[in-house]
């Protein structure tokens, strides 16, 4: 999603009370660091080291990738018992799996914000899990009618 914005878009905000593109990106980097570090116990850099010095699109995207890779490795090594343990989450105790999915939903919220921003900027919106008005492919099967919603499961192209 971030890759569809240009440098000139970083200051865009659709309304005076809305965040800018840059503010959303900075928030995502910082809030992910807090959630993974404080609430899930993932080794994270100090908060002061999270944002790149150069707040360009290229550096922001690169930083997101740099921070995500070690998290992925750490989380992939955890067993089921670890995921089901409770951990502190703001003023509550929650299972780690709940906290993780809360992060997924938070990220989806910001993806949706930025999708709207791209539309308002008249830019292409990338596909998430299916075709968009901008991206489609052979075999795409959008559900835009009652008939489409009524179809039974069809064979996966990945089946043997």
CA angle 118, 10, 37 (to 5 degrees): 95
Q: Which residues of the chain have pLDDT under 70?
A: 154-160
Contact 123, 4 (CB under 8 A): yes
What's the predicted TM-score (pTM) here? 0.84
Rounded CA-CA distance 78/4 in Å is: 34
Indicate whether 86 belongs to any domain: yes
Indicate whether 149 belongs to any domain: no
What is the Cα 85 distance to its own chain's centre? 24
Indicate whether 142 belongs to any domain: no
Rounded CA-CA distance 97/27 in Å is: 22
Rounded CA-CA distance 101/149 in Å is: 27
Q: What is the mean pLDDT of the chain?
A: 91
The dihedral built from the CA positions of residue 144, 148, 150 and 151, taken in this order, carries a sign that is negative
Q: Given this model, what pLDDT does residue 114 score? A: 96
CA angle 4, 129, 21 (to 5 degrees): 30
Q: Given this model, what pLDDT does residue 154 score? A: 62
CB count in 10 Å sphere of residue 5: 21
Q: Given this model, what pLDDT does residue 110 score? A: 93
| CATH number assigned to the domain comprising residue 24 | 1.20.120.450
CA angle 153, 154, 156 (to 5 degrees): 115
End-to-end Cα distance, the chain: 33
Domain assignment of residue 89, given as a range:
2-129
As for how many domains the chain has, the answer is: 1
Q: Given this model, what pLDDT does residue 131 score? A: 73
């Amino acid at each position: 999603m971030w890759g569809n914005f240009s440098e000139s878009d970083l200051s865009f905000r659709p309304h005076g009370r809305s965040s800018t593109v840059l503010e959303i990106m900075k928030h995502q980097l910082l809030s992910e660091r807090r959630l993974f570090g404080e609430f899930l116990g993932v080794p994270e850099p100090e908060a002061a080291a999270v944002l790149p010095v150069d707040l360009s699109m290229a550096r922001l995207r690169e930083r997101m990738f740099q921070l995500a890779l070690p998290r992925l490795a750490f989380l992939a090594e955890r067993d089921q018992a670890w995921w089901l343990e409770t951990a502190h989450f703001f003023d509550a105790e929650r299972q780690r799996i709940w906290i993780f999915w809360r992060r997924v939903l938070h990220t989806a919220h910001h993806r949706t914000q930025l999708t709207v921003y791209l539309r308002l900027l008249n830019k292409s919106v990338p596909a998430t899990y299916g075709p968009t008005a901008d991206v489609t492919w052979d075999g795409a099967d959008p559900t835009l009618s009652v008939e489409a919603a009524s179809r039974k499961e069809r064979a996966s192209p990945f089946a043997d």
